[in-house]
Structure 1
Amino acid sequence: MKLIHMSDIHLTTPGREIFGRDPLLNFERALDQVRADHRDAELMVISGDLSDLGDLADYHLLRERLNGFPIPVRLCIGNHDHRETFLSAFPECADADGFAQGVHDTSFGRCLLLDTYEPQTAAGSFCRTRQAWLERQLSEHEGPFFLFMHHNPFPTHIAPVDRIGLLDDAAFRSIVARHRSKIRHIFFGHCHMVLSGSVAGVPTTSLRGTNHASYPVFAEVLTVADLPEAYGVAFIGDDYVTVHMVEFGYRGEILSEDSPG
């Protein structure tokens, strides 16, 4: 089965650029490529920073662009979003506690969409209420599970990135540890760079966003780099998960091995 993972689309006023790039144009280009190449995907998840400023107009624009999209789409929110504003445009994404969390069943397993947004900070939070929700979801179903979230759930060892990572990461990892036999993969965003690792033994991946990218400089600096815009394609089998980062923003040649000279 095939899954599409996008993150950090940062929609904003049409025509406004972020770091010299047009987020809406790039998001539309990503959608066009998914339509053309991946209509057989069973699900697409966008894991946060849907809007750059948390504006209602951005969420209306997102709903408009996803209307009629040939693949089911589920959404997470990130630090650039605004929960109440997002839920006013996507009320179906609210859980019983008012968080933007949810469940989506697929042929390859149960997907959990987590809310790591915390007001007035770029860092993420996974408070006791959200922890209880996750614990309940993992306890009440046999799985397998795939988790989607915005903030990085482990240290990147890039200090300014980790200061805005998931503040409750140890508590989150302890829940994952208790249920690791049921959880096959964790997908996240936020860092705008390619990352892989594990959380309590569960494999994790992240990727660049559909607009601007970061570069792993191991110093006291947040970076922006002129790297191609990207989204992820995951292939899920009974006993494996393969994740590709598709750099749809690459503008050079792609040659086959039998190309002349």
Structure 2
Amino acid sequence: MKLIQLTDIHLTTPGETIAGRDPNANFEKALQDVMNFHSDAEAMIITGDLSDWGDEDDYRRLKTRIEALPFPVHLCIGNHDSRDHFLSVFPDRANDDGFVQSVFPLGGHIGLCLDTKVPDTHAGELCDARLAWLSAQLELADRPVFLFMHHNPVATGQAPIDSIMLRNPDLFGKMVGRYREKIRHIFFGHCHLPLSGSLEGVPFSAPRGTNHAGAFNFAEPDLLSGSDLPAAYAVVFVRPESVMVDMIEYGYDGPLHIENSPEYSAWDRKTMIR
């Protein structure tokens, strides 16, 4: 099974840019790259910051665009999103508590989208109601589960990013630990950085994002750091024995060097390109 994860698409009013990049154009480029190489995907999941300012028109344009794709698209909201404006366009994406949380089939797996949005802060949280919903879904799950969320549930070691991560990571971590035999992988965004690791024994990953890129800057104590690294999304190859997450830097426009055979017998010190 193949899955696509896009994150932090930050759609804006057409013509507006972020960090000198056009997020609407970059979202479209990402979709075109997916269609060129991965149109056989089981599903696409976009893990939040769908809109940069939470404008209702951004969600209308998003809905029109994803309805044209040949596979289902599942959506999380992030700190830049407006839950009210999102649900005015996507009313069917709310659970009974009014949060943007959903459960859906993914081949022989179950996908869960979590709502980590908190008003008036860029940090995230899973309140008692959202945690209770998650616990109930995990209890019911009879197949391996993939979790999708916006905010990072684990500290990155960079103070500015970690000041706006999930605010109750201990509670989330305990739940992940309780159901670690059911949860196969956790996918998130928010950091605009390629990240991987594990939480309570469960692997996690995050790609860079489809517009502006972050930077690893452990010396900066207060401000978020950006870079000119290429925009990216993730392709996830799910096999019975493994989960491989490839970060696709579709925003790179430099040359590709198609050279050198992977065959060991072709490795020749005199003729190989180095």
Aligned equivalent of 1:73: 73
Aligned equivalent of 1:62: 62
Q: Which runs of 5+ in 1 are unaligned?
A: none
Contact 1:108 1:236 in 2 (8 A): no
The 5 Å alignment of 1:28-107 reads 28-107=28-107
Residue type of the alignment partner of 1:43: A
Aligned equivalent of 2:182: 182
Shift of 1:108: 3.2
Q: CA offsets per residue over residues 143-201 of structure 1, 9 Å max, x none?
A: 20000000000111111111100001110010010000011000000000011011111
Residue type of the alignment partner of 2:247: M
Q: Structure 2: how far apart are the matches of 1:258 and 1:207?
A: 28
Please report the TM-score for the alignment, with normalisation by the length of structure 2: 0.93
Q: Structure 2: how far apart are the matches of 1:228 and 1:71?
A: 26
Aligned equivalent of 1:167: 167
Aligned equivalent of 2:12: 12
RMSD of the TM alignment (CA)? 1.2
Shift of 1:207: 1.1
Q: Structure 2: how far apart are the matches of 1:71 and 1:246?
A: 19
Aligned equivalent of 1:114: 114
Please report the TM-score for the alignment, with normalisation by the length of structure 1: 0.98
Q: What is the aligned-residue identity percentage? A: 53
Aligned equivalent of 2:229: 227
Aligned equivalent of 2:149: 149
Query: What secondary structure does 2:213 align onto?
Result: coil
Query: What secondary structure does 2:226 align onto?
Result: coil
Moved over 6 A (4+): none
Residue type of the alignment partner of 2:236: A
Contact 1:13 1:58 in 2 (8 A): yes
Contact 1:101 1:115 in 2 (8 A): yes
Query: What secondary structure does 1:26 align onto?
Result: helix
Alignment coverage as a number of residue pairs: 261
Shift of 1:26: 0.3
Query: What secondary structure does 1:196 align onto?
Result: strand
Shift of 1:210: 0.2
Contact 2:141 2:182 in 1 (8 A): no
